[in-house]
């Protein structure tokens, strides 16, 4: 592992070089295609503390699919399951298993967003479409990104309803406590061999993003495996999409394992922010969320030194962090606390990251080695290393 200083920082480029042809207000929702949305919704409520928000299905007159919308602070998840064998959603499920289909972006103008991106080479998924009900109207449009993943642009300034036209409020008697998850910090995509730069170019040219951090396989590797990663950000920094590709190593990298089991590129992890990771992770653990194994003793012994090297002082108790398996990384601007779940489905594909930023804007490069060794222990058990 190289020192974090080797990481190429270029945040100022975001403000200098950013294009404003696609102003993004934030992540609007993330939609998963799943085998049983009713049960998945129960899992996200019980384990992660999401709240029931909206519903569409047979009871609302939709005979094709059922969708459950869950919310926690600014995070909105949509879980969708087809209601018959003819739905095209089945193809996605058969091929990929449960996974992320849509990363929806909240915009002022969904028509202009579609025009600007398709003009620059995006493949259209959905032309600008107006949906209406008595609560007003929403305009949505969409483009394809890596694999079978889609970006939908959502314009909701003329809408007062719960989610989208056609959805009704989902009132439930079962409302477990939230766990302190606030917003999506970043969402990572895994792409195929030698495809990372092509997708970096796509986000630059088509969406006006900039590449503000890069890690090569010399920086991200263990004894056995390696990967490369480039972090893309939109102009105001609200949307961050790191993109990973596998690299050659002695054994199979986790990215390759993902590509094998997802049967192609797709969303690898969703990082959700909390402002109290100790409370959040304590609650998640108590509710049965499974995390990767805690790094070894030597890892925690080295933490004070790593923080001192950047003149930062850890505010949290290191023994508490160690007890929960939370990792610590530091850069010039501050430090961050993070932890990763095991995959949340049977295929070793999508997982979650819980992150608390204490000034640092990086992604935990100093933790990559400990993290990947932990993932490799899981791969070993699965026979996929
Ligand atoms: Fe991450």
> In 10 A of CB 367, how many CB atoms?
22
Range in 12-16, 75-79, 254-258 with the lowest mean pLDDT: 12-16
Q: Ligand 1 centre from 186 Cα, in Å?
A: 7
Q: Could you give the C-alpha distances from 188 to 100, 191, 230, 241, in angstroms and in order?
A: 11, 10, 10, 5
**273 CA from centroid of ligand 1 (Å):** 11
| Å from CA of 268 to ligand 1 middle | 9
Read off the pLDDT band of 351 (50, 70, 90).
Answer: very high
Whether 179-382 and 14-169 are alike in CATH topology: the answer is yes
Task: Kindly report, residue by residue over 47-74, the tens digit of the pLDDT.
Answer: 999 999 999 999 999 999 999 999 999 9
Q: Calculate ∠ Cα 363-76-24, nearest 5°.
A: 65
Which pLDDT score, from 0 to 100, does residue 22 have?
A: 93
| Distance between CA atoms of residues 219 and 72, nearest Å | 35
Alpha-carbon distance values, 150 to 137, 201, 317, 377 (Å): 22, 17, 41, 32
Q: What is the pLDDT of residue 363?
A: 87
Average the pLDDT over 152-162 and give the result.
98
The rounded Å distance from CA 352 to ligand 1 centre is 8
Read out DSSP for 285-302?
HHTT--BPPPPPHHHHHH
Q: Average pLDDT, stretch 322-326?
A: 97
Q: Which residues, 6+ apart, have CB-to-CB distance to 104 below 8 Å? A: 27, 28, 29, 30, 31, 151, 152, 153, 154
- The per-residue pLDDT for 1 is 32
Cα(269) to centroid(ligand 1), Å = 7
Write out the DSSP string of 78-96.
EEEEESSTTSTHHHHHHHH
Distance 141 CA to ligand 1 centre (A): 27
Distance 371 CA to ligand 1 centre (A): 11
Q: Indicate the Cα dihedral angle 157, 160, 162, 164, nearest 10°.
A: -50
The pLDDT, as a whole number, for residue 12 is 45
Q: What is the mean pLDDT of residues 245-257?
A: 87
Does pLDDT of 9 surpass 50? no
Rounded Cα distance, 131 and 337, in Å = 41
Q: What is the DSSP annotation of 332-366?
A: TTEEEEEEEBPPSSSSS--EEEEEEEEB--S--GG
- Rounded mean pLDDT, 173-199: 96
Domain ranges for the chain, please list them. Answer: 14-169, 179-382
- Please state which of the ranges 144-148, 171-175, 252-256 shows the lowest mean pLDDT: 252-256
**The predicted structure's pLDDT at residue 247:** 85
User: Quick one: fold of 14-169?
Assistant: 2,3-Dihydroxybiphenyl 1,2-Dioxygenase; domain 1 (3.10.180)
Neighbours of ion ligand 1 (CB under 5 A): 271, 353
Please give the Cα distance from 249 to 228 (Å, whole number): 12
- Give pTM, 2 decimals: 0.93
- Assess contact for 208 and 21: CB atoms under 8 A: yes
Q: What are the distances in angstroms from CA 210 to CA 30, 75, 245?
A: 22, 24, 18
Which residue's structure tokens are 């879980």? 79
Q: What angle do CA 220, 7, 380 make, to 5 degrees?
A: 10
Q: What confidence score (pLDDT) does residue 375 get?
A: 86
Ligand 1 midpoint to CA 158 (Å): 34
Residue 158 near residue 167 (C-beta atoms within 8 A) = no
Sign of CA dihedral 118, 102, 97, 167: negative
- Residue 2 pLDDT: 31
pLDDT, the chain, mean: 92
CA of 135 to the centre of ligand 1 (A): 37
Per-residue confidence (pLDDT) for residue 3, from 0 to 100: 34
User: Comparing C-alpha atoms, which of 275, 274, 266, 271 is closest to residue 341?
Assistant: 271
Q: Convert the pLDDT of each residue in 26-35 to its tens digit.
A: 999 999 999 9
173 CA to centre of ligand 1 in angstroms = 34
Q: What is the pLDDT of residue 243?
A: 96
| Residues with Cβ within 8 Å of residue 4, at least 6 apart in sequence | 329, 330, 331, 362, 365, 366
Q: Which CATH architecture has domain 179-382?
A: Roll (3.10)
Report CA(231)–ligand 1 centroid distance (Å): 10
CA 272 – ligand 1 centroid, Å: 9
pLDDT at 367: 86
Look at residues 316, 255, 363, 345 and name the one whose alpha carbon lies nearest to residue 11.
Answer: 363
In the reported structure, the alpha carbon of residue 188 is separated from the centroid of ligand 1 by a whole-number distance in angstroms of 7
């Amino acid at each position: 592992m190289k020192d974090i200083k080797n990481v190429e920082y270029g945040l100022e480029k975001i403000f200098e070089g950013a294009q404003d042809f696609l102003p993004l207000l934030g992540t609007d929702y993330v939609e998963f295609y799943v085998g049983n949305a009713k049960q998945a919704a129960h899992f996200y409520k019980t384990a992660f503390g999401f709240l029931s928000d909206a519903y569409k299905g047979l009871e609302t007159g939709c005979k094709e699919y059922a969708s459950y919308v869950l919310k926690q602070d600014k995070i909105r998840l949509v879980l969708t399951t087809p209601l018959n064998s003819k739905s095209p959603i089945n193809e996605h499920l058969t091929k990929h298993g449960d996974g992320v289909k849509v990363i929806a972006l909240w915009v002022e103008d969904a028509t202009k967003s579609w025009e600007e991106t398709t003009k620059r080479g995006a493949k259209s998924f959905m032309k600008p479409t107006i949906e209406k009900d008595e609560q007003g109207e929403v305009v949505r449009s969409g483009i394809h990104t890596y694999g079978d993943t889609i970006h939908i642009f959502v314009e909701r300034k003329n809408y007062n309803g719960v989610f989208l036209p056609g959805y009704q409020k989902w009132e439930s008697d079962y409302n477990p406590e939230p766990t302190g998850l606030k917003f999506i910090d970043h969402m990572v995509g895994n792409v195929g061999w030698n495809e990372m730069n092509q997708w970096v170019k796509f986000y630059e040219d088509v969406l006006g993003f900039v590449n503000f951090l890069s890690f090569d396989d010399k920086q991200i590797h263990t004894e056995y495996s390696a990967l490369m990663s480039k972090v893309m950000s939109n102009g105001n920094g609200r949307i961050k999409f790191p993109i990973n590709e596998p690299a050659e190593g002695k054994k199979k990298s986790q990215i390759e394992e993902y590509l094998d089991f997802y049967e192609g590129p797709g969303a690898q992890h969703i990082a959700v922010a909390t402002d109290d990771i100790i409370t959040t992770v304590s609650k998640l653990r108590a509710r049965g969320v499974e995390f990767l194994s805690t790094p070894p003793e030597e890892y925690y012994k080295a933490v004070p030194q790593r923080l001192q090297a950047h003149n930062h002082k850890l505010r949290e108790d290191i023994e508490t962090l160690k007890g929960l398996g939370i990792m610590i990384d530091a850069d010039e601007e501050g430090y961050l606390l993070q932890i990763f779940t095991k995959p949340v489905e049977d295929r070793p594909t999508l997982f979650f990251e819980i992150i608390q930023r204490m000034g640092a804007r990086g992604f935990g490069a100093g933790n990559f080695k400990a993290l990947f060794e932990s993932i490799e222990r899981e791969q070993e058990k699965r026979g996929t290393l």
